[in-house]
Amino acid sequence: VNAALKSDATSLNEVVVTAGGVAIKRREQGNQSTTVKAEELTQGKAFNVASALTGKVAGLQVNAVSSGVNPNIRLVLRGNRSLLGNNQALVVLDNVIVPTDVLGNLNPEDIENIEVLNGAGAAALYGSDASNGALIITTKKGKRGSSSINVSHTTNVEQVSFLPQLQERFGSGTGNDDVPSYTPFENQQYGPAFDGVVRPIGKPLADGSIQSVPYSFNADENKNAFWETGYSNQTDFNVSSGDDKGTYYFSGQYFDQKTTVPGDKYNRFTMRINGERNVSDNVTFSFNLSYVQNRYDQSSAIATVFDNVLQSPGQIPLTRYKDYKNDPFSTPDGYYNEYYQNPYFALGNNRSKTRNDYLTGNAQLKWNPIKDLSLLVRANLSNRSFSNKSTSGKYTYSDYRLGLTSNFSNIVGGVSDYSGFNVQINPEFQAQYIKRLNKDFSLNVIAGATIRQNTYKNVSVNTNGGLALEDFFNINNGLQNPGASEANFKARQIGVYGDARLGFRDYLY
């Protein structure tokens, strides 16, 4: 087999958008960079940009730092540079510096390209905030003389891909000697080998009734069947058009997800509008505006439940215990296990509901007073409003149940509630002078000034001592005086920057 590498003469002449929204030829860049184009982000129909970036850029680590639906992510370029400080790359969306979690809520269909800048080259215009690199995200715009309407729908189905491989020959029991004994309420699995004989599980209820099941591995209702089949639906549309005076791009997306964890769900709604207009022959006005709304409804007891499910013996019909409010064998009083709660009850009794609203945008005016000089004024805004309410239901065990075991105590319940906002305002001025000095030399000079102000506020309250009334999740329902806290933060950064490039015959800079 004969193989040969073919040169791509166009790649170095490609125009890319780099730090500060400056468009330059790739060969002019003085730092390492990688461009991820739109088709690379959308080919797998990833439901957010963070997922779409995974594996696309050498040296870029996209790691989840939380569990559950749409987890928060951590972006690291070329490894950690500090043992104590922040090692994350800076994220810039249409010239607006945004928090990293925006990538988990950004519609991949809206992205034109992502320029990944490594290290000091990115820091030149963004300062120390970009010392770990930067992701410069440019969203789509309309095309002059062209109109398009696109609508698409994607459905994904997911299942748990891997679970620990556990033995399927022995059931409930204690003692790891040569004479195993069956214990109907035990979660350890040192009991006798499965023989198919119907045996009781758990302890009798107050009325004397007891549950019995075949003593055999129950593949259809056991621990592996507890995890459900998840699904997600994503509907996208976008409209774009343009004429000789300007362009516009308008898009929307609705995404909803039901996960493999029973009862957990997530949905997101996004809208974006980008526009550009030639006010006169030498003045251009452009703007970008996006709104993202997401809602989480998930359990705060997932880690405990996983351990609970993992230790359930193979003969236990775990999926029969969903109706923990009405089925006497599924309630906390009647559940077979001596040490763990019914996992369906644990998931349903401990809930966390989160709301996030993101508003990001900018408006800029660009003026070309003379042929080679451009002056730009831009105002950027990034706003996030958030709230969360976490609840733990109150449950009082019967005297009968408490008399059978010392492993349980009454659940006092509680509520915590917090809300806040984070606003960043960033006005900036930029001047650029591009001049072909002669046939051999070219000059590109950029200078600018920027002000960035961050304001953060968070207020949280919580009950103390448990809840007075069941199923009434209000701060006033606490048995003791509620707790409260408040956090406030404001910071302002002012900076100036400059960059000059002298080019020789378009290959040496």
Tell me the whole-structure pTM to 2 decimals. Answer: 0.86
Using CA atoms, how far apart are residues 137 and 402, in angstroms rounded to an integer? 59
Domain segments of the chain as ranges: 11-139, 234-294+347-504
Give the contacts of 162 (CB within 8 A, at least 6 positions apart): none
Rounded to the nearest angstrom, the gap between the alpha carbon of residue 464 and the centroid of all alpha carbons in its chain is: 31
pLDDT tens-digit series, residues 319-357: 999 999 999 999 999 999 988 899 999 999 999 999 999
Q: Tell me the CA distances in angstroms from 478 to 307, 414, 440, 475, 482, one per residue in order.
A: 30, 7, 78, 6, 7
Can you give the pLDDT at residue 457?
97
| Domain 11-139 fold | Ferric Hydroxamate Uptake Protein; Chain A, domain 1 (2.170.130)
- Three-state DSSP class for 128? helix
Model confidence at 399: pLDDT above 70: yes
Q: How far apart are CA 169 and CA 180, in angstroms?
A: 13
11-139 shares its CATH topology with 234-294+347-504: no
- Token readout for 130 is 């970009």
Q: What is the mean pLDDT of residues 207-225?
A: 91
- Using an 8 Å Cβ cutoff, are 312 and 223 in contact? yes
pLDDT at residue 95, as a whole number: 86
Query: Kind and range of the H or E element at 346?
Result: helix 343-349
pLDDT digits (tens, 9 = 90+) for 166-201: 888 999 988 766 778 888 988 888 889 999 999 999
Residue 444 vs residues 367, 373, 411, 429: alpha-carbon distances, Å: 17, 10, 69, 17
- Dist. CA 499–CA 14, nearest whole Å: 20
> For residue 119, what pLDDT band results from cuts at 50, 70 and 90?
low
What distance in Å separates the CA atoms of residue 412 and residue 43, rounded to the nearest whole number?
Answer: 50
Q: What is the mean pLDDT of residues 69-88?
A: 69
* Backbone angles phi and psi of 133, in degrees to 5: 100, 170
pLDDT above 60 for 8: no
CATH topology of domain 234-294+347-504: Maltoporin; Chain A (2.40.170)
Q: DSSP character for 193?
A: B
Query: Helices (DSSP H) in 81-191: which residue ranges?
Result: 120-126
83: buried, middle or exposed (CB in 10 Å: 19+, 13-18, 0-12)? exposed
* pLDDT tens, residue by residue, 122-174: 556 677 777 788 888 899 998 888 899 999 999 999 888 888 888 889 999 88
191 contact partners, CB below 8 Å, separation of at least 6: 170, 171, 172, 173, 174, 180, 181, 182, 183, 313
**CA 16 centroid distance within chain:** 27
pLDDT at 304 exceeding the cut of 90: no
Query: What pLDDT does residue 56 have?
Result: 78
173 φ, ψ (degrees, to nearest 5): 165, 165
* pLDDT at 426 (0 to 100): 93
Write down the residue that tokens 């990001």 correspond to: 360
**Would residue 7 be called left, alpha or beta, if left means φ above 0 and alpha means ψ between -120 and 50 degrees?**
beta
Say which residue, 60 or 64, is predicted with more confidence. Answer: 60
pLDDT band at 472; cut points 50, 70, 90: very high
pLDDT interval class at 405 (50, 70, 90): confident
Q: What is the pLDDT of residues 347-398, one digit of tens each?
A: 999 999 999 999 999 999 999 999 889 999 999 999 999 999 999 999 999 9
| pLDDT for the residue 150 | 93
Spatial contact of 425 and 388, defined as CB atoms under 8 Å apart: no
Q: According to the model, what pLDDT value does residue 71 have?
A: 67
Q: Spell out the SS3 assignment of 214-263.
A: ECCCCCCCCHHHHCCCEEEEEEEEEEEEECCCEEEEEEEEEEEEECCCCC
pLDDT above 70 covers what percent of the chain?
89
b/e 273-301 (16+ beta carbons within 10 angstroms → b): bbbbeeeeeeebebbbbbbbbbebebbbb
Note the pLDDT of residue 99. Answer: 84
Q: Give dist(CA 18, CA 25) in Å, integer.
A: 10
Residue pLDDT, tens place only, 18-44: 656 666 665 666 666 778 888 888 877
Q: What is the pLDDT of residue 6?
A: 63
Q: What is the pLDDT of residue 5?
A: 62
Question: Average pLDDT of the chain?
Answer: 87
Provide mean pLDDT across the span 222-248.
92
Q: What does the pLDDT look like over 421-464, one tens digit per residue?
A: 999 999 999 999 988 888 888 888 889 899 999 999 999 999 99
